[in-house]
Structure 1
Amino acid sequence: MSFENILVEKNDRVATVTINRPTKLNALNKATIKELNEAFTELQSDDSVRAIIVTGSGEKAFVAGADISEFADFDDEQGAALAATGHDLLFNFVEHLSKPVIAAVNGFALGGGLELAMSCHFRIASDNAKMGLPEVTLGVIPGYGGTQRLPQLVGKGKAMEMIMTAGMLTAEEAKTWGLVNHVVPQAELLGLANDLAQKIAKNSPVALAKAIETVNAGFDKDADGFMTEIRSFGYCFGTEDFKEGTTAFLEKRKPEFTGR
């Protein structure tokens, strides 16, 4: 895969997607969102990839926000279309990807950057990371899922405070609030991300995909999370991965999952 604004590297069943616009602090523009969609689509169908890491280039920013110059003159209809397209191409797309996605937050994750990190299935951060949703300082609200995913992760009251004050959290505060799972020195961030991805990659791709689907259903007002769990649990019993996993357990060996 060759892109202008992102880098994609594959190594031992793990793909690393790096947003590579360092002179713009890796800000998300339309072209970058489109490229990320294309990369995730290809990785989704690549059987050699079992887990995905998303990070930003350099040491300053994961993604410092959206590229404001692209929409500063939009009207209300254009603004709504911008948000809808972003949801479809990237933010909802990543959240519902069947392969686990880890956000390795290596600096500022603001606005659309934090929204991208929250779309991933979980987050880890470097100790210099700072996270926030500053959109109200521009006269707008978070439009790429921030008003929905942040309360799910940190609770309604804390989310309201973050959004209304446009304040930033340090990495340790984000960990305390439940926004990130781990905080490490920046030099150790990708190593930890890869260690976690490798642990994930050893497990059944079918089970991982169903786990993502089922957990997401629990936060979907139009879905029944418990019924989704029951159906997904039953589905797993009809897979080759289930047969391999149970057989390997009984034979006291490590399973070799195929994702079927």
Structure 2
Amino acid sequence: MTDHTDPRLKDLDGFRIEIDAAAQRGDIILSRPPMNVINMGQRDQLRAAFEALDADDRVRVIVLRAEGENFSSGGYIKGFLDASPEHVSHLADNVAAPARAAKPVIAANQGYTFGVGFEISLACDFRIVTESCRYALPEQKLGQIPGSGGSARLQAIVGIARTKEIVMLSRRITGRQAVDWGIAIDCVADQAALDAAVAKLVAELVEFSPLAQRTAKKLINDSENATVQTGIEMEGHCYARLRQSDDFREGVLAFHEKRKPGFTGS
């Protein structure tokens, strides 16, 4: 798929986009094996790809995955020396594209998932990993720190002590550890099992009201750093709005009529 209205999506660098309208999913597939290194300019294109799929009515769920044995070994290191300070200052905005998307986003991770590969996966809503997956933020070895939100997002998930271990010691986290620590929701044996697990999760997600789903994602993201009381207040406003929706009415009627609801997203 290409969007000729957005110049960033012409001549895609290191990835491609596929849409399966029947499954209501849109895939962004890193396709520079074996390491799927992410170039500097590619980050702008990845942002545009998430924005395009988020606006595509055929897509209910966005999947970020990769070809080959590794998800991504990270960014093209020399590119940081060539990039302008202004360009580098926008890296975190690009990597945050999955979090900004209104639709749910799944990251499918296998093998090396380092640096920006880990950071963009952390910006997704769900992560499914293989046993071969190794998460790492190795920037300390380059005299740097994660620059695209990795340490901040990781700390929100695993806490300060484990984040210091991963960031300050450049420790690698296995797929099994990732599940145990709450980074990933499932760890499967291999690539075939990963594809099946992602397809199953997509099928599960599309059964829900798209309006309620978008609302839940935004509420959870927006209230992440709020006090409990503020979070409850925000939740109440969202709940009240959904009470007026067609999807809520359909959900209630379907429950009482013992049938599958037909949600429309309105």
Q: Secondary structure at the match of 2:53?
A: helix
Q: How many residues align?
A: 253
- When residues 232 and 128 of structure 1 are mapped into structure 2, their CA distance, relative to the original with a 3 A threshold, is same
Q: Distance in 1 between matches of 2:165 and 2:120?
A: 20
Q: Which runs of structure 2 are paired with 1:66-81 in the superposition (5 Å)?
A: 66-72=75-81, 78-79=84-85, 81=86
Contact 1:96 1:212 in 2 (8 A): no
Name which structure has the greater RCO, CA cutoff 8 Å, separation 6+: 1
- In structure 1, what is the equivalent of residue 239 of structure 2? 233
Give the residue type in structure 1 aligned to 2:66: G
Q: Secondary structure at the match of 2:101?
A: coil
Give the residue type in structure 2 aligned to 1:69: K
Q: 1:140 aligns with which of 134, 138, 144?
A: 144
Q: 1:179 aligns with which of 177, 183, 199?
A: 183
Could you tell me the percent identity over the aligned residues? 32
Give the residue type in structure 2 aligned to 1:255: P
- In structure 2, what is the equivalent of residue 92 of structure 1? 96
- In structure 2, what is the equivalent of residue 55 of structure 1? 65
Q: Secondary structure at the match of 1:72?
A: helix
- 1:79-134 Cα shifts (integer Å, max 9, x gaps): 4x344312223x22211211000110021111111101100002110111100100
- In structure 2, what is the equivalent of residue 205 of structure 1? 210
Cα deviation for residue 222 of structure 1 reads 9.6
Q: Distance in 1 between matches of 2:242 and 2:202?
A: 22
Contact 2:93 2:148 in 1 (8 A): no
- In structure 1, what is the equivalent of residue 33 of structure 2? 22
CA RMSD in angstroms, aligned pairs only: 1.8
Q: Distance in 2 between matches of 1:93 and 1:228?
A: 23
Q: 1:9 aligns with which of 11, 18, 34?
A: 18
- 1:201-253 Cα shifts (integer Å, max 9, x gaps): 11011111111111112223599422221111111112221121112112111
Cα deviation for residue 46 of structure 1 reads 1.5
Q: Distance in 2 between matches of 1:222 and 1:38?
A: 33
- In structure 1, what is the equivalent of residue 221 of structure 2? 216
- 1:39-70 Cα shifts (integer Å, max 9, x gaps): 211111112211111111111x1121111121
TM-score (norm: length of structure 2): 0.89
Q: 1:40 aligns with which of 38, 42, 50?
A: 50
Instruction: Give runs of ≥4 in structure 1 deviating > 6 Å.
Output: none
Q: Secondary structure at the match of 2:18?
A: strand
Give the residue type in structure 2 aligned to 1:205: P
- When residues 144 and 154 of structure 1 are mapped into structure 2, their CA distance, relative to the original with a 3 A threshold, is same
TM-score (norm: length of structure 1): 0.91
Q: Distance in 2 between matches of 1:219 and 1:84?
A: 24
